[in-house]
């Protein structure tokens, strides 16, 4: 057994944690406490002695005995290892690199690279022009420090040479995405050159990648700065074992406390918008990097808040990019609002703050419900006395109304739109009943007036079951539950394996975790281990696979929750629960497939492809039966 595992097996996690905070029993093998890592009045910090892990449902921190000490005492891994080793009588001779893992190496590399770029920016003579550029963007020294801004020098091999000297071979640098291999295959060169370096951090503040901004062309006297024809405005790290664009929210590590305090998160497009917003004192803000929000990003945000404010500039180019994310957030039960910049404030929050920080602050406090924003957008520049304009506005707003799943809220907006269009609410409701409801249609606002031929379908098709406001979180909860039941009840595993396919789970992370659970299940099936052993083996499997490590917090969260709702000594109760949750998941899947078919049918109808319509309608009826 390697020292890391041996020490861990001897440490009692509850005993260790109770040296720091007071734990109260909350089950046969679990404790809870007020979380030491975020302010709270009711305990959401849980410790499982079976599983030897801890997890806080308030701030999502969690892990094993090592991560507790690292967080509590600010130790690094090796210090925590030695500290606990001493406690339980296991000698840690020297740092064994096999104990370490690739992920930690990649994080170390990024940490080092960020420090290097930072040092070049602050100290190097060659960075003078960049320093003035940063100042010209209104970024103070303190802000630059807080966000770790740096400068990649205009050279091909400075970073790579520095990293080699610090003990990181070029192959590792390449896997970290910091260098690229020469076309000849011989040697590597710095990926980022002559750019402003903006570190991308995970929610805990570890640097996991970079986005690098091209420097604006300057006067010929600045011969060191020549950048116009050197690639895209922003160059990003490639996807690596530690960096996944779709799971990252820029600035979350600096915003999460403030998001909790304010009860909302503002989504802006650019990284510089985030920095500018901090400058204006508005800190509950994260950057989406200009793409639509993904389910993984939303589920990350959901841990901190239920309210999202999307920011749109007056010309609304940002709106198009955000549409899918808005639809997803609305169907996910988020309260979605819009922050609208006044037309003279500039094109984005960064511009607005440059001109006047108070304009941004005011825009944020004056956020409006997303529906109100959509209505104002739809009406802008149209004459509602003109019947064509009126029809166009209706066509824009009907799909939006159809997406509102909360009945009271829906009634409110139906009334508003009816008043606006001088229409009877009954007539509006009738048109609405032909509107499909979809969890995430790609471009809701640009959707044409729905074709009335949908009436030809059966009554059930015309009234698909609405997605409830909490659909998204309910699906995630169901995914948590079924995986928790799998962990907790070895008697139920065979049933779950037979009936649960990964695609029934709502997030990519849940699907990946389930695949790992299946692998471990098949590997250990002959021994049929008890829940605690299965959990330990699975946790070890994830902990030693660099591509799986990021799933550990999810596993811990699920494992700890399972302690609270499932009793492994009561197989009958577990069987009932398994059956119920599987029912919820398959029904949701069926609904989703039905909605997809409905959309296909409408598309085929619009295209006049009658044979395809017939085929799809047959498939639809098969699905229903």
Binding site for Zn ion (CB under 5 A): 35, 37-38, 56, 58-59
The residue (of 38 and 390) whose beta carbon lies closer to Zn ion is 38
Q: How far apart are the first and last CA of the chain?
A: 55
Could you tell me the smallest distance in angstroms from the CB atom of residue 506 to Zn ion?
24
Which ranges in 248-314 belong to alpha helices (H)?
252-262, 271-279, 295-302
- Closest CA relative to residue 121, chosen from 188, 239, 210, 250: 210
Nearest approach, Cβ of residue 72 and Zn ion (Å): 12
Q: Considering the complex, state which of residue 48 and residue 101 has its C-beta at the smaller distance from Zn ion.
A: 48
Q: Which is nearer to Zn ion, 21 or 395 (CB)?
A: 21
Q: Provide the phi-psi class of 498: left if phi over 0, else alpha when psi is between -120 and 50, else beta.
A: alpha
Compute the half-sphere exposure of residue 321: CA atoms within 13 Å on the CB side of its CA: 18
**Residues 86-102, buried b or exposed e (16+ Cβ, 10 A)?**
eeeebebeeeeeeeebb
Q: What are the start-end ranges of the E strands in 364-429? A: 368-369
Q: What are the structure tokens assigned to 236, written together?
A: 């990003």
For Zn ion, give the closer residue by CB, 58 or 399. 58
CB of 244 to Zn ion, least distance (A): 24
**For residues 23 and 56, which CB has a smaller minimum distance to Zn ion in the complex?**
56
Residues 6+ apart with CB under 8 A from 206: 107, 110, 111, 242
Instruction: Measure the CA angle with vertex 124, ends 106 and 129; round to 5°.
Output: 105
Which residue has 């849940």 as its token pair?
510
Structure letter (DSSP) for residue 502: G
CB 22 → Zn ion: shortest distance, Å? 15
Q: How far is the CB of 62 from Zn ion (least distance, A)?
A: 9
Give least dist CB 112 to Zn ion, A. 29
Between 62 and 436, name the residue whose CB sits nearer to Zn ion: 62
Nearer to Zn ion among residue 35 and residue 163 (C-beta): 35
- At its nearest, how many Å lie between Zn ion and the CB of residue 558? 17
Which two tokens mark 545? 């696979």
Q: CA-CA distance, 472 to 486, in Å (whole number)?
A: 21
Min separation Cβ 305 and Zn ion, Å: 15
- 228, with CB counted inside 10 A (0-12, 13-18, 19+), is exposed
Q: Compare residues 59 and 604 and give the one whose CB is closer to Zn ion.
A: 59
Whose Cβ is closer to Zn ion: residue 8's or residue 256's?
Answer: 256
Cβ distance to Zn ion smaller for residue 38 or 119: 38
Please classify residue 422 by burial: count the beta carbons closer than 10 Å to its beta carbon, then call 0-12 exposed, 13-18 middle and 19+ buried: exposed
Nearer residue to Zn ion within complex by CB, 35 or 577: 35
C-beta closer to Zn ion: residue 44 or 170: 44
Q: SS3 for 195? A: strand
CB of 560 to Zn ion, least distance (A): 12
User: Is the CB of residue 561 less than 8 Å from the CB of residue 484?
Assistant: yes
| Residue 442 backbone phi and psi in degrees, to 5 | -65, -40
Burial degree of 49 (CB within 10 A; 0-12, 13-18, 19+): middle
Distance in angstroms (rounded) separating the CA atoms of residues 255 and 249: 10
The minimum distance between CB 74 and Zn ion, in angstroms, equals 17
To the nearest whole angstrom, how small is the minimum distance from the Cβ of residue 253 to Zn ion? Answer: 15
What are the two backbone dihedrals, phi and then psi, of residue 105, each rounded to the nearest 5 degrees? Answer: -60, -45
Please, what is the minimum distance in Å from the beta carbon of residue 565 to Zn ion? 20
* Cα 373 to chain centroid, rounded: 25
């Amino acid at each position: 057994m390697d020292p890391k595992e041996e020490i861990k097996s001897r440490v009692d996690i509850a005993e260790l944690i109770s040296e720091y905070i007071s734990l109260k029993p909350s089950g046969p093998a679990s404790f809870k406490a007020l979380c030491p890592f975020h302010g709270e009045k009711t305990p959401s910090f849980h410790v499982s002695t079976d599983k030897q892990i801890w997890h806080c449902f308030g701030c999502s921190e969690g892990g094993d005995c090592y991560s507790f000490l690292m967080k509590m005492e600010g130790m690094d891994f090796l210090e925590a290892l030695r500290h606990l080793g001493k406690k339980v009588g296991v000698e840690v001779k020297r740092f064994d690199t096999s104990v370490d893992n690739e992920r930690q190496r990649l994080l170390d590399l990024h940490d080092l690279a960020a420090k290097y770029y930072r040092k070049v920016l602050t100290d190097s003579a060659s960075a003078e022009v960049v320093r003035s550029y940063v100042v010209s963007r209104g970024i103070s020294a303190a802000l630059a420090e807080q966000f770790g801004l740096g400068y990649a020098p205009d050279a091909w091999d400075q970073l790579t040479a520095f990293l080699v000297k610090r003990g990181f071979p070029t192959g590792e640098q390449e896997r970290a995405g910091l260098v690229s291999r020469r076309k000849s295959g011989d040697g590597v060169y710095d990926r980022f050159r002559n750019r402003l370096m903006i570190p991308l951090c995970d929610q805990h503040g570890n640097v996991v990648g970079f986005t690098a901004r091209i420097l604006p062309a300057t006067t010929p006297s600045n011969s060191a700065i020549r950048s116009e024809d050197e690639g895209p405005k922003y160059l990003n790290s490639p996807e690596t074992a530690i960096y996944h664009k779709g799971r990252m929210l820029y600035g979350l590590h600096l915003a999460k406390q403030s998001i909790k305090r304010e009860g909302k998160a503002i989504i802006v497009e650019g990284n510089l918008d985030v920095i500018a917003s901090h400058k204006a004192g508005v800190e509950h803000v994260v950057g989406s990097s200009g793409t639509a929000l993904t389910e993984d990003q939303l589920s990350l945000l959901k841990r901190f808040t239920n309210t999202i404010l999307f920011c749109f500039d007056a010309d609304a180019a940002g709106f198009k990019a955000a549409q899918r994310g808005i639809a997803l957030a609305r169907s996910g039960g988020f309260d979605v609002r819009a922050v609208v910049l006044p037309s003279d404030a500039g094109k984005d929050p960064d511009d607005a703050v440059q001109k006047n920080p108070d304009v941004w602050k005011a825009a944020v406090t004056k956020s409006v419900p997303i529906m109100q924003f959509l209505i104002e957008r739809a009406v802008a520049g149209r004459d509602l006395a003109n019947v064509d304009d009126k029809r166009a506005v209706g066509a824009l707003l009907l799909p939006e109304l159809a997406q509102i799943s909360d009945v009271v809220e829906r009634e409110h907006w139906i009334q508003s739109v009816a008043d606006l269009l001088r229409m009877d609410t009954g007539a509006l409701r009738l048109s609405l009943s032909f509107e499909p409801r979809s969890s995430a249609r790609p471009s809701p606002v640009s959707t044409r007036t729905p074709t009335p031929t949908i009436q030809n379908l059966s009554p059930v098709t015309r009234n698909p079951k609405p997605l409830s406001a909490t659909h998204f979180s309910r699906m995630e909860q169901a995914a948590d539950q079924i995986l928790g039941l799998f962990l907790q009840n070895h008697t139920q595993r065979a049933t779950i394996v037979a009936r649960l396919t990964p695609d029934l789970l709502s997030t990519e992370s849940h699907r990946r975790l389930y695949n790992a659970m299946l692998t471990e299940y098949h590997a250990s099936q002959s021994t049929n281990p008890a829940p605690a052993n299965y959990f330990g083996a699975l946790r070890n499997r994830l902990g030693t696979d660099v591509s799986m490590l990021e799933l550990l917090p999810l596993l811990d969260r699920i494992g700890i929750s399972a302690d609270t709702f499932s009793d492994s000594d009561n197989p009958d109760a577990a069987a009932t629960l398994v059956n119920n949750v599987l029912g919820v998941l398959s029904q949701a899947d069926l609904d989703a497939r039905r909605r997809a078919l409905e959309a296909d049918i409408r598309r085929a109808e619009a295209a006049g492809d009658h044979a395809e319509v017939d085929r799809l309608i047959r498939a639809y009826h098969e699905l229903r039966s």
